Structure 1
Amino acid sequence: MKSLNPTHPMLRVLKNGFVLSVFLGTVYTTSAQNNPPKGNDSNTPLHLLKPDYPVPYGSPTIESITTVLNRVHGYLEGSTPIQLVTKNTNEVVTEYKKINTETILKPGDFRLLSYEWGVTYAGMLLATEATGDSRYADYTNKRLKFIADITPHFRELAKKNPQAQSPLRSVLTPHALDDAGAMCASLIKSVRAGNKAELRPLIDNYIDYITTKELRLADGTLARNRPQMHTLWLDDLFMSVPALAQMGKLTGDKKYYDDAVKQVLQFSQRMFNKEKGLYMHGWVEGMTVHPEFHWARANGWAIMTKVELLDVLPEDHPGRGPILELLKAHAKGLAAYQSGVGFWHQLLDREDSYLETSATAIYAYSIARAINRGWLDSLAYAPMALLAWNAVSTKVNEKGQVEGTCVGTGMGFDPAFYYYRPINVYAAHGYGPVLLAGAEIIHLLKKNTFEINDSSVQLKAAR
C-alpha cells in the first residue's frame, strides 16, 4: 500500500452556494483496474500523479447508478416468478379455488416470502421513487398482491389439513421475527405508496406475532431461545423495529413507536460498544463475559433500523433524541473501519476477514439517507457513502447478480465461524440493500454536486 500525497485528489461537495473539498480516501493499491494512470511521466510533479484506484473513485452519475439498478431489476424480474404450480408435474395453477396440498409456489432463484425479500420489496419501491421508473414498484406491488390473493385459499386449506406443509407457512403462522418483520414493513410501505391490494390482513397478522407472540425478556426486549436461552440477536432489531415503526405511521398508535424505541435503546444498552462505535452480534442473558464479534451485516441491520425508525418517528417523541445520538455514534464508528477500497470487512475490526458486499450496501444506503434527512453532516459522511456505492457497483455482474454477499449466518462464539461463512450470488441478502443504496445515492446526487479537485482543500464560491 502507498500513502497518498497530502495534496491528492479531494472530493468536493457543492451545497448552499459553496464548494467544499472533502477528503475521500487515505490509501490505494498499485493494481491497475478501473482508473489506470493517465498523463504521468517523468516531468509530472509528484503531487499531480494520478492515483491507481482499484474501484471507481469520485462521484458516480445518476445514469451509471440507474444502469446498475436496471440490471438487478432485470435479473430479479426473470428469476422470481409469480405463479403457482402443482408439485411434481409443474402444471400451472391459475384458478386459486383449485389450490390443494400439492400446490406450491413456482420455484425461482429466491423465495418471495423471506425477510431478505421484504428488504428487496422496499428497495424496489425506493428505486421507483428515486428514478421515476414504475417498473421497480410494479415488481413489488404485483408480488405482494399475488401473496395477498392466494393467502385466503391457503388459510382455508390449512384449516382442513393442519398437518400438511404449506408454502405460505411463514405468512399464515409466523414462527420467528425473521418471518414477520421485514415483510410486514414492506407491506406497509407498499400500502402507503398507494398499493390497493388487500394487504391489511397480512400486516395485522405479522404485527400481532411481533407484539404478542415473540419471546421477550422480563423488560420486554425481543429475544430468541437459540443458540442459548434468552439470546439477543442484533439482526432482530431490523426484524422487528421497522415494522413497529411503520405500523405506528400507518395507524397513528403511539404504542408501536414506544415499543420500537424501547427495542433500540435496550438492545444498545447491552450490545453497543461505545469505545468502538460498533455493536456485538449476540448477547446471552446470564453470561458475565461476552465475546464481541462485530459482524458487518448485523451492524448494517442495526444502523438501518435507526434510520428507518427516525424516518417515521414523530418529532416530539421523547425517544427521538436518544435514537439520533445512537445513529451518530454508530455512523462515526463505522466510518473508522471502512477499507481503502470502500468495502467493510466481514468482521468490521478484523482486516484479515474478507470484504463483504451486503453490509457495505446497507451502510451506503443508511449513511446517504441520514445525510439526505439532515441527521448526519454531508461534508463528513458523503464521501464515505459514495465510496461505498462505487465499491458495491463493482459487485453487480452483467447478469444483474450481486456478488460477494455472505450467506445466512447464525450467531457464533469464535472468529472462525464468521471468517469462513461462504459468499454466493444466491445469498438473497445482497439484492435489497443494493437497490436501497443505489436509490438513496441518486437522491444524494440530486441534492448535492460532487467533483474531484486536484489541488488542496479549499472553499470558494460556486459559479
Structure 2
Amino acid sequence: MNQSQNKQSNKTQITLAATLLATLLACLPPQALAQAAPPPQEKGPAPKDAMLHALAVQYPNPYRAMEAAEVKAVLDRVLAYLDASTPAELVSKSSGAPIGRLDQADPDAVLKPGDFRLTSYEWGVTYAGMLAAGAATGDRRYTDYTLRRHQLLSDLTRLYYPAVKADPANAQAPIKSFLNPHALDDAGALCMSFLKAQQASVRVDYGQMIDICATFVTRQEYRLKDGTLARGGPDGKGGVKMRPLPDTLWLDDMFMGVPTIALMGKQTGNAKYYDDAVRQVLQFSQRMFNPKLGIFMHGYVEGMRDHPELHWARANGWAIMAMVEVLEVLPTTHKGYQAVVRQLRAHARGLASFQDKDGLWHQLIDRPDSYLETSASAIYTYAIARAVNRGYLDKEMYGPMANLAWNAVAAKVNAKGEVEGTCVGTGMAFDPAFYYYRPVSVRAAHGYGPVLLAGAEIIEMNRKYKFGVNDSGFMYQGSR
C-alpha cells in the first residue's frame, strides 16, 4: 500500500471512529454528558483544596428537577384534602339535615359548610388548578373535582337566579354573592374557571353562569375614564365607595378581571375583548409598574401625586398570572401581543432578582426581613413555568428558577395536604406594618389553586425540557 493509500485509509478510520463516538454520546443519558471539572494536570500529592468543589451541599429542598410522580404525590395530597373538606352538597339551614335533591328554589337550603367556600375568587383559581392538574397528570379525579362543583353551581344558578334577579335585595340563595355580584372578587376568577372548563369540553351547562359573571366583569364593574378597571366608584346612594379611596386601582384586579375579558374574546370571536384585555394590562402597568425594580406596587389612587410603593407579593402574582392567561388566548397577530410579552418579560426579570436563596419570595418582595410567603411563590412558579413552556421566557435562565421555586413550594404542603405559609385575605394599605404583620394560615384559600397550577405546569415543563446538575450547578440540558 503506497503513502497516498495509507493517508486515505487513516482518514476513513478517523471518520468512522468519530461517527461511532457521536452515536454513542447521543445514546448516553443527559447526566452522563454533564460537564465535570477538568482533572488536575499537576503531578504529585494533591493539595488540600483539590476536591473542595465536590463537597456535598446540604440544600434545604431538593436541588434537582422533581420527577413527575413526585410532583403528583404532592398534588394528590392537596386533592385528597380538598375533596374531603369542600363538600359539594346542600343541607337545611335550620336543621342541618342533608338535602339529596332540590327541584325548586328553597330559601332554607345552603351549601354544606366546609373549610372553604365554593364561590370565592380563590376557588375560581382552584377549579382552574384542578383542570390543569388533570390535564398534566392524566388523573381524572382532578377534573371530576371541578366538574362536580361546577355542576352544583350550575344547578343552583338555574333554580335561584330568577328570584335573585327579580329582587336582589331580599331573595335568598346559597350562592347569592355570585348571582348578584358587587365586585370583581365575586365574579372574575369564577368566570375564568367556567370559560376554561367549557373550552376544555367539561360537560356542564355554563351558559347562564358565564352570562352573569362575564356581563359584570365586562360591562358593570366600575372603570376610570380611560376604561381601566377600578374600585371606589359610585355607591348607588349618591356617594362614593371607599375601597379604600375613590378611583383606586388594585393590582389584584389585573387577574380578577382581565383573563375573563381575554377569554371572552376566544369565546365570542369578538376582537373588542382582546383589545380591552391588552388595554387593561398596559394601563395597569403604566401606572403601577416600577421599571427599575421590575415589580408592581399594590395600590394606586388616581389623582394622587405620590404613591407609597408597597410591593406586595401576591398582588404581583396576580399580575404576572394575568399576563400569561391573556397571552394564552390572545392572537399572536394582535397589535398588542408583543407589548404584553415585553411587559411579562420585564416583570419576570424583576421577580428573578428577588427570589430568596431557598426558592420562595418575601411577603413584601423587596424587603427580605418580611416573611417568605407561599401563595405568591406558587403563582410565580406557575406563571414562569408556563412562560417557559410557551417560549416567552428563556428556558436556560427561568427553567432552573421555576424548579427551585416549585421544590420550595412543595415543601410547604404538609402530610394532610394543607398548604402552609399563606398570607390570609389582604386589603390595601399605604404603610409597611400592614403587610409585615398579616397572619398566615392553612385556611387561607389563596394557596391551594396556585399550588395545583404550579405543580401541573412544572410537570409539563420538565416533560418538555431536561434540567440537571452541570459542574455542581442545576442547569438546562436540552429538549427531550
Q: Tell me the TM-score normalised to structure 2 length.
A: 0.86
Larger helix proportion, structure 1 or 2? 2
Q: Deviations over 1:210-256 (max 9, x none)?
A: 12111110000110011000000000000001111111111111111
Aligned to 2:261: 244
Distance 1:448 1:15, change over 3 A: farther
Aligned to 1:68: 74
Pair 1:208 & 2:225 matched: no
Aligned to 1:270: 287
Aligned to 2:367: 350
Is residue 82–residue 146 contact of structure 1 (8 Å, CA) maintained in 2?
Answer: yes
Matches within 5 A, 1:47-446: 47-158=53-164, 159=166, 162-225=169-232, 226-446=243-463
Distance 1:461 1:309 in 2: 28
Q: Which moved more, 1:266-275 or 1:52-61?
A: 52-61
Is residue 92–residue 108 contact of structure 2 (8 Å, CA) maintained in 1?
Answer: yes
Aligned to 1:37: none
Offset of residue 51 of structure 1: 1.3
Is residue 17–residue 461 contact of structure 1 (8 Å, CA) maintained in 2?
Answer: no
Is residue 18–residue 459 contact of structure 1 (8 Å, CA) maintained in 2?
Answer: no
Is residue 261–residue 274 contact of structure 2 (8 Å, CA) maintained in 1?
Answer: yes
Is residue 407–residue 427 contact of structure 1 (8 Å, CA) maintained in 2?
Answer: yes
Match of 1:403, as an amino acid? E
Distance 2:127 2:308 in 1: 35
Aligned to 2:235: none
Offset of residue 456 of structure 1: 7.6
Offset of residue 48 of structure 1: 1.1
Offset of residue 88 of structure 1: 3.1
Distance 1:127 1:311 in 2: 17
Is residue 72–residue 137 contact of structure 2 (8 Å, CA) maintained in 1?
Answer: yes
Distance 1:252 1:16, change over 3 A: farther
Offset of residue 56 of structure 1: 1.7
Offset of residue 170 of structure 1: 2.0
Distance 1:108 1:272, change over 3 A: same
Distance 1:61 1:460 in 2: 15
CA RMSD, Structure 1 to Structure 2 (Å): 2.4
Match of 1:386, as an amino acid? N
Q: Deviations over 1:14-61 (max 9, x none)?
A: 99999787xxxxxxxxxxxxxxxxxxxx89821111111112212111
Aligned to 2:471: 454
Match of 2:54, as an amino acid? L
Secondary structure of 1:85's partner?
strand
Q: Which moved more, 1:266-275 or 1:208-217?
A: 208-217
Distance 1:351 1:459, change over 3 A: closer
Is residue 31–residue 469 contact of structure 2 (8 Å, CA) maintained in 1?
Answer: no
Distance 1:355 1:404 in 2: 8
Aligned to 2:240: none
Q: Tell me the TM-score normalised to structure 1 length.
A: 0.89
Secondary structure of 1:452's partner?
strand
Distance 1:322 1:301 in 2: 18
Offset of residue 102 of structure 1: 1.6
Distance 1:145 1:97 in 2: 14
Which structure has the greater CA radius of gyration? Answer: 2
Offset of residue 458 of structure 1: 10
Is residue 15–residue 449 contact of structure 1 (8 Å, CA) maintained in 2?
Answer: no
Match of 1:196, as an amino acid? R
Match of 2:229, as an amino acid? L
Distance 2:194 2:102 in 1: 22
Distance 1:460 1:107, change over 3 A: closer
Is residue 20–residue 459 contact of structure 1 (8 Å, CA) maintained in 2?
Answer: no
Offset of residue 267 of structure 1: 0.5
Distance 1:345 1:276 in 2: 15
Match of 1:167, as an amino acid? P
Offset of residue 191 of structure 1: 0.5
Secondary structure of 1:450's partner?
strand
Offset of residue 196 of structure 1: 2.4
Is residue 100–residue 157 contact of structure 1 (8 Å, CA) maintained in 2?
Answer: no
Secondary structure of 1:104's partner?
strand
Distance 1:291 1:57 in 2: 37
Q: Deviations over 1:47-90 (max 9, x none)?
A: 11111111221211111100001000010111111111111311
Q: Which moved more, 1:330-339 or 1:49-58?
A: 49-58
Q: Which moved more, 1:201-210 or 1:327-336?
A: 201-210
Distance 1:181 1:156 in 2: 21
Distance 1:295 1:132 in 2: 35
Distance 1:347 1:126 in 2: 28
Identity %: 57
Distance 1:184 1:139 in 2: 17
Offset of residue 319 of structure 1: 0.7
User: Which stretches in structure 2 are left out of the alignment for 5+ residues?
Assistant: 1-27, 36-47, 233-242
Offset of residue 95 of structure 1: 2.9
Offset of residue 156 of structure 1: 3.7
Q: Deviations over 1:135-181 (max 9, x none)?
A: 10110011101100121212244347851443211221110011111
User: Which stretches in structure 1 are left out of the alignment for 5+ residues?
Assistant: 1-13, 22-41
Secondary structure of 1:336's partner?
helix
